[in-house]
Structures are given as structure tokens and as C-alpha cells.
Chain A
Amino acid sequence: MSTIHILKERERQIYQKGNQPFDMVCEKVSVAGSVSQRACVFCGSRVVLYPISDALHLVHGPIGCAAYTWDIRGALSSGPELHRLSFSTDLTETDVIYGGETKLYQALTQLIDIHHPKAAFVYSTCIVGLIGDDVTSVCKKVEKEKGIPVFPVHSEGFKGTKKDGYKAACDALFKLIGKGAIDDISPCSINILGEFNIGGEAWIIRDYYERMGIQVVSIMTGDGRVEEIGKSHGAKLNVVQCSGSMTHLAKAMQEKYNIPFIRVSYFGIEDMAQALYDVASHFKEKPEIMEKTRELVRKEVSDIYPMLQKYKADLKGKKAAIYVGGAFKAFSLIKALKHLGMTTVLAGSQTGDKDDYEVLRQMCDDGAVIVDDANPLELSKYLIEKDADLLIGGVKERPIGYKLGVGFCDHNHERKTPLAGFVGMLNFAKEVHATVTSPVWQFTPRRDNSG
């Protein structure tokens, strides 16, 4: 497979664990002409704000950006489902020439009258940044007229990377925070940040914390509500998952509201348990919380342990490749895979930083490949070279694995199965087991010895 060409500009974004010094380059814009698995600023904003289900999410621009993000994520709501609709100003050529403010104003007012949202987010797409629409002023005008908060989200696709989109979303969220009353909030209370309720994950996590005796003030943004987020400044601790997207907000809240934050992950047994213990330790003035936490972890782990062992027996020694958005998720996955007896032969992310990759390097065995902002060619090259049995990624990565006869587990936002929490670990194991042990691989060119 030497035919797959690694671009010179990309060489230092790939590292193979071994003897060479670790000097990985990352946090770069993608090379022009490569097929990056990354998206754009708009995508980053949309991911973060999408699950707020009682807000209007209006995409200001031509139709594509709204069409491709219509109801594609598995973020569940226990109430309103406004987030599942795709709203666009659907700009046409004359708007590009004469400006889109009029349409934006009309779209906002009409949609607010129809759907009665609690707030509205207006996402600027590429051309809005070029034609010079004063989105902020239109938002202010509508806010005044309709009496709900209307936030511009400056998410023009080309103005940075997905990370800048996260930041733009956090900025919009931050403006929402502080609007609600906080008198009914317990001294043992948290916000859950960076949890998007894919397949109901936020509900699982909220349940754990509540069983520990902790009040969950808001979840940002899974099953999110404008009112809840508005009073999140009353919580005593921010618990941040998906740190790439939400640390910016946690820091802003620390500065303004003096709320400390911790970073956690809810994937895999260790990290899930750690996420609970860390919160319990924070509220150490109430030792009963730690007691309840220990009890909870004991019960949850013993519930899933026998089944995990069963899966492990079949999965032992199998090799996995991980390519996900944020590196933090990759850390958890490596540990979770170890629990199943599997080794990680490739670990990569779209947006990791140098420290993240150093951690990945330490966690992986010799020979493992660490990669930043990979493209399909690179992923394929290493799937084959490392003889992986499993690829963990999103929809764009799935066909790469399948074409080469490699099993696949979807760990992105499109999935419908909860993989977080202890029960999520069991789901994860079940899914990995289902794909890796499927008999279909015997017929694939890679494994077929009959011909």
C-alpha cells in the first residue's frame, strides 16, 4: 500500500510511536486540496447549540447549510422539538446583491410568531460575512419587538476552524446565562457542560448525579432549555465534558460568576466513575455524597461487569483504530477498549492540541499511529498497515472501514444509541462485539481465503 501518498505538508501531523522524538504539529488549518474530515465554523456552532430544543435556530444564508444540518443528530428532547426543524432565510442571488437583512427580519418575526420559541439563534453563514448584513442590529430589533432574546452567532464558515464555531456558540450561550432567578438552587449543584443528550445520554448522567444527591441546574446543551441555561450561573460547579467545545464557556463563567470547573468524560468505566468521584470530592463538606457515589458505582459496575466479561472473551487481542472529533473522547475510548481486551493501533482527532497528542502517545502501545486532521487516504493506509479489526468514528469514516472489510462503531452525534455512562459502556461493548464478530467479514477480500 505504498501507493498512498502522504502530503509533505501533512507529514508532521502524523506520528508513529517508537523511537523518534515526539514533535507533532497540530491546530493548523487543513491543507488545501486534501479531503479533511473536518467541517467549518458554522458546524462547530451548530453542534453546540443544536440540542436547545425550545429555541429557534435560524440559519442565515443560502439553503445548503440548513439542509445538511436538518435533524441529523441524535440529540433527544424530553419536551419541545423545535431543534429538529431546519430554518433558513434561503438567500437567493438578489439578496446577495442587495443584502439579506430584510429577509432575516421577516424570517425571524414570522417564525417567532408561528413557533413561540423561548429564544432565537441566528447563524451567519459564509456569504453573510461578505455581503455585510448587520445581523446584530436585526437581532436587537427583533428582540425588542418580540420580547425574547435573539442572539447572533458569528459562524461564517471560513472565519477559522470548527473550534472558532464552538467559541461563537459559547459566546451566544454566555449571553443567555444570568437571566434567570437562582434562589431555589442547592449548595450542592452543578451544570453539565458539553453533553448533548445523544440517544438520551444526558438523562443517564443526570440520573447518576441526582442519585448522589447533587442538583443538576442545567445541561448544556443536551435536552437544553433556555430558562434552565438562564439560571445556570447559580450552580456551584461546572462539569465539562467535550472540553474542546465548552472550556471557553466554563472559563467565562469562572471569571464572571466565580464557578470553578472540572473536566470529565462519561465514556468507559474508569472515566465515568471518575467523573462522579470528582464531583463528589468537590462537595466534600457533605461526605454522604461520596458514600452514595461509591455505592452507585459499585452497583452500576456490577450490573454490567458479567456481560462485559462475555464480550471481552471474544474481543481479546483485536485491534482498534479511533478517529474522532475531540482528543478527549479518544482517551476514554482507548481505556474502554482496554477493558474489552482490545488494543488501539491508531488514534486521531480533528482538533486535538499538542498536549492531547502527548497523552495519546503515552496511552498507546509502541507502533501505534497518532494523527491530527487525517484524511480518508491516511486513515485507509493505516487501517490496512495496522490490520485493524475495528474503526471508531462518524458517518464520514464508516465507509472507509467497511470498504476495507473493517468493523465500525459510530461514536459521533448522528448515532441513536447512548454510549455514555455505565449502561453506555455496555452498549458500546455490544456494538463493538456485534461488528467485530460478525460472520460477514469472512467474505471480504481482506479475509477471504477461498479464492
Chain B
Amino acid sequence: MSNSVLKKKENYTPTTNACKLCTPLGASLVFKGISNAVPLLHGSQGCSTYIRRYVISHFKEPVDIASTNFSEETAIFGGGVNLNLALDNLRKQYNPEMIGIATTCLSETIGDDVAMFLKSYREQRIDQRLPEIIHVSTPSYRGTHMDGFHGAVQAVVEGLSNKDFDARSGHQLNIFPSMVSPADIRHLKDILKAFGISYAMLPDYSDRLDGALWSEYQTIQKGGTDISEIKNMKKARASVEFGKILEGGRSSGGKYLKDTFGVPCYSLGLPIGVRETDAFFKVLENLTGISTPDRFVSQRERLIDSFVDGHKYVSGIRAVVYGEEDLVVGMVSLLREIGIIPVLCASGGKSGLMEKTIETIVPEYQPLGISIRENVDFMDIEKQAADFSPDIFIGNSKGYTLSRRIGKPLVRIGFPVHDRIGGSRIRHLGYEGAQELFDRIVNTLIEKGQEKSEIGYTYI
């Protein structure tokens, strides 16, 4: 090291209390959403253990993520031997239909050629029935957990689309819901069922990460998208992919199917709030030629009715919204429908698209004084939040400390929810999701007012 080496990097500040997680976490969640699949992190033991602990604390479910357990020798001589051994051992212990490999920063940095390892692994076992083995590159120095998530979806679609000919005809719809809660996934499935649409959804961890108790140990939790369904995605009539940031930015499963197999892809925002949900239902109506079933029409009507009942509690309220970029964008859409000003929209992601995307939803964001910040940590959020005198925080559990310090309540959404029970059951999507979010936001504000009042009103 010399002084000349330590040339100052402009605009660099270290990260304090990150508002993002690392790429392999996102990939692991996707693999959890595939039937009989096991995630395997190719790298150090700690990556898998830390991610398991983090994910378990939110979902309150067993989350088995295997590791190739690098040692110093592995780092020097390459991870080929460990990967082979890990695949053999995983097959013995779990007998999976698919192994999803995510490469950590360690194996990426030493330059492990996983594709080549897998080729020779398969060649050496030509007489054995092997599970599908999908590899996604997820060095944690490139992007956030959302990149790991979308990257894994795409890797799975790509890896399985080119497999064996399947005589079945395709489904009406592929749906890529993004990183939403198990309750959201169940709600989406409910909607699709009501429309009578045949579909394949990727991922679907609604059972595997929010399941029932067991009478005996399940090596792999039941549930998840069938591998044969994923293989068949290329024949679907259309795909729906949620995420406006995803749409404008990186490659994706939906885009791949469109470019390679000509499957039309509807890129929509996460259906949070009335308008984004309307857009989703519109696509479903167009695809099926039937109108939205009465249940959902009624849900929408009740939602609007409640908007009117509760509007005065939220009108002009100032919110700090943080989390994954697409979640923030979705929430901004709902918040503007009910008159809340999302004074600070913040994310640890850095697509470069957040401001532009939010502008399409709130063209008047500048006169409203809305600040849109990418690539921030909770330290930045706290510093900025103080200037905006917010009334409420909306985001995951990790903002609790600052909401407490600033003395304004936090409405917990997204991931992780580590300080409450029921993170899996939080609904964000559809009219019902909007209903739940609206009720929680309004009631949180009422409760805060009630607590502050000296009178102790029982009638608000």
C-alpha cells in the first residue's frame, strides 16, 4: 500500500445500516418457490447460515440452504471438488428434482467456471438420473437481493425452457410476481382461478415458506412451482411480469421468453392500490375475454368506500417509504390515491430508474417536495427524514429504530419483518391487499393520535 494507491474516490461514503441485502438471498428465495428444489450456495459456510437465519426470522419456517463449504484449499485450488461432493450429498440426503446453485462473491472472485464443472459432473454420471441443476451468478458485490431474485427467475426459465419436448399445450399465462409475500401469492392464485385462467407462476413459495405443521419431517417442504410447468412456460399465450423498475432495467424471465419464444410479455407495476390493480385485471380481462368476477368488483367497491370513510385521516399526511425499488414504486401509487405525500422515497437499490418511474405516477412530485433517493442506507434515510418532518414510516422492520427515534409510527410491509409475527401473511397486492394496507395505515395514524391525546377518547 502506498499513498498514491489511496487516491480518494469522489462521493464515496461507507454504508451504515444497509437498506438492501445481498444477491444470493434473493436467489435462494426463488429456489424455495420451486417444487422439490434445494438451494445450494457455492461459497463459504457463513453465507448460507446467515441467509437462513435472516429468512427464517421473517417466515418462521425451516429454510434449508446447503453450502459447498469452502475451505482455504478450496479457495486456492477452485471449488470444483466441493461442488461435485455437495451435489452428490444433496442428492443423497434430499433427493431433489432441482438443485439451484447460486455462486457467492467468494467463488465468483476466484473465477470458478461452474458451467464447466456442471458439464463434467453430468458427463461423469451419464448413467444416473440427475436432477435439474440450474446455476445463477450472484456475487454480492453486484446488485442487491432483488438482482439475485430476478436473476434466479431468469436462470431457471432459461435453463428449463430449452429442455425436452413436451407434448402438452401451453398455459394461458405465465406470471412472475416478483418478491411478494406468501399471502400475496395466494391472493394472486385466487384471482387467476376465479378468471379460470390456466397459469404457471414463478416463484411460488406460498406453501414452502408459509406452510402447515408436519406429522413427520419433510426433507423438502411440499409446494412450489412444478418443474414441468416451468419447462412449458415457453408455450404460454402470454406472460405477466410485475415491476416497473424491472421493466425498464435488467433482463428478466418474461423478457427472455418474449425474445426467445415470442411469448408476449405484459410488464405491469406491482398491483398495489386501485389503479395498478385495475391494470392487472384489465390484462386478465383481455386475455380471457371475460369480465372481472363480481367478488373482485365488490372488493374494489368496498375499498373505494373505505377510502372515503378514512380519507381525512390520511389526506396530506407525510410518509417516508423505503425498501426494494419496485415495492416503493407500488406503495407510492397507493399513497397518492389516498392523499398521502410520500415525502421521501428511498431504496438501497440503484437501477437509475426510480425517479423517472415515480414521475410517471406522480408527475407533480417536484412541487410536492417529494425526494426520490436510490442507493441509500438507513443512515441517509434518517438524516433526510428529519428534514421532511414525516408523520409515518412505511417499510420493513429495519426502519423501526429510526421511526422510534423520530417518534413517528412504522407500518410494517415487505421483507424482512423481524419484529412482528405474521410477516408472511401481510397482503400488499390486489384490492384486498390495498384494503389491508389502507386499514393499517389509517389505524396506525388514529392510534398515534389517540395515544397523544390526554382525553383518552373511546370514540374517534
Q: How far is the CB of A168 from chain B (nearest CB, A)?
A: 14
Q: Find out whether the CB atom of B18 lies under 8 angstroms from the CB atom of A66.
A: yes
- CB within 8 Å of A: which B201-253 residues: 213-217, 219
Q: What is the CA–CA distance of A39 and B61 in the complex, to the nearest angstrom?
A: 19
A75-88 vs B, Cβ < 8 Å mask (1 yes, 0 no): 00000000001111
Provide the residues of chain A in CB contact with B154, threshold 8 Å: none
Question: A137 within 8 Å of B by Cβ?
Answer: yes
A43 engages B49 (CB within 8 Å): yes
Q: Are A158 and B215 interface neighbours, CB within 8 A?
A: no
> In the complex the two chains form, is A380's CB within 8 Å of B213's CB?
no
Taking a contact as CB atoms under 8 Å apart, the answer to whether A86 and B46 are in contact is: no
Q: Are A7 and B44 in contact (CB under 8 A)?
A: no
Q: Which of B14, B21, B54, B71 has the most CB of A within 10 A?
A: B14
Interface 9-residue window, one of A55-63, A194-202, A427-435: A55-63
Given the complex, which residues of A lie within 8 Å of B426, measured CB to CB? none
Query: At the interface, yes or no: B267 with Cβ under 8 Å from chain A?
Result: no
Closest A residue to B81 by beta carbon equals A32
> Is the pair A7, B92 in contact by a Cβ cutoff of 8 Å?
yes
Q: B257 in the interface, Cβ–Cβ < 8 Å?
A: no
Task: Verify if A90 is at the interface (C-beta below 8 Å from B).
Answer: yes
Complex CA distance for A154 and B25, rounded to whole angstroms? 25
A404–B6 touching, CB < 8 Å = no
Q: Which of A87-143 contact B (CB under 8 A)?
A: 87-93, 95-96, 99, 101-103, 105-107, 110-111, 126-127, 129-131, 134, 137-138, 141
- Across-interface contacts of B141 in A (CB, < 8 A): 62, 91-93, 95-96, 127
Q: How large is the interface on B (under 10, 10 to 19, 20 to 34, 35 or more residues)?
A: 35 or more
Smallest Cβ distance from A180 to chain B, in angstroms? 29
Q: With a CB–CB cut-off of 8 A, which chain B residues contact A396?
A: 49, 52-53, 56
- Within the assembled complex, what's the spacing in Å between the Cα atoms of A3 and B220? 12
Most buried by A among B24, B45, B401: B45
Q: Are B43 and A126 in contact (CB under 8 A)?
A: yes
Q: Is the CB of A157 within 8 A of B44?
A: yes
B50 engages A43 (CB within 8 Å): yes
Whether A127 contacts B106 by the Cβ 8 Å rule is yes
Q: How far is the CA of A33 from the CA of B72 in the complex (A)?
A: 17
Whether A63 pairs with B64 at a CB distance below 8 angstroms is: no
Give chain A interface residues in 1-56, CB to chain B under 8 Å.
1, 3-5, 7, 9, 29-43
Residues of A contacting B68 with CB < 8 Å?
A: 32-33
Mark the stretch among B83-91, B192-200, B301-309, B329-337 that contacts chain A: B83-91
Among B14, B18, B54, B62, which residue has its beta carbon within 8 angstroms of that of A399?
Answer: B62
Q: Which residues of B contact A381 (CB under 8 A)?
A: 217
Q: A248 within 8 Å of B by Cβ?
A: no
Residues of B contacting A296 in the complex (Cβ-Cβ under 8 angstroms):
none
Say which residue of B12, B70, B140 sits within 8 Å of A103 (CB atoms).
B12
* Known contacts A35-B65, A90-B18; A384/B52 CB under 8 A: no
- On whether the beta carbons of A93 and B18 are closer than 8 Å, the reply is no
- Report the bound CA distance from A107 to B45 in whole Å: 27
> Which residues of A sit under 8 angstroms from B66, Cβ to Cβ?
33-35
B298 at interface, CB cutoff 8 A: no
Closest 4 CB pairs of A and B: A40-B46, A64-B22, A33-B86, A33-B89
CB within 8 Å of B: which residues of A?
1, 3-5, 7, 9, 29-43, 58, 61-72, 85-93, 95-96, 99, 101-103, 105-107, 110-111, 126-127, 129-131, 134, 137-138, 141, 157-161, 376-377, 380-381, 384, 394-396, 398-400, 402-405, 444-446
> What would 20 A/B residue contacts be, using CB atoms closer than 8 Å?
A33-B67, A36-B67, A41-B46, A43-B50, A63-B20, A68-B22, A70-B18, A90-B14, A91-B141, A96-B141, A103-B9, A106-B14, A111-B14, A111-B16, A126-B109, A129-B75, A157-B70, A158-B72, A398-B56, A398-B60
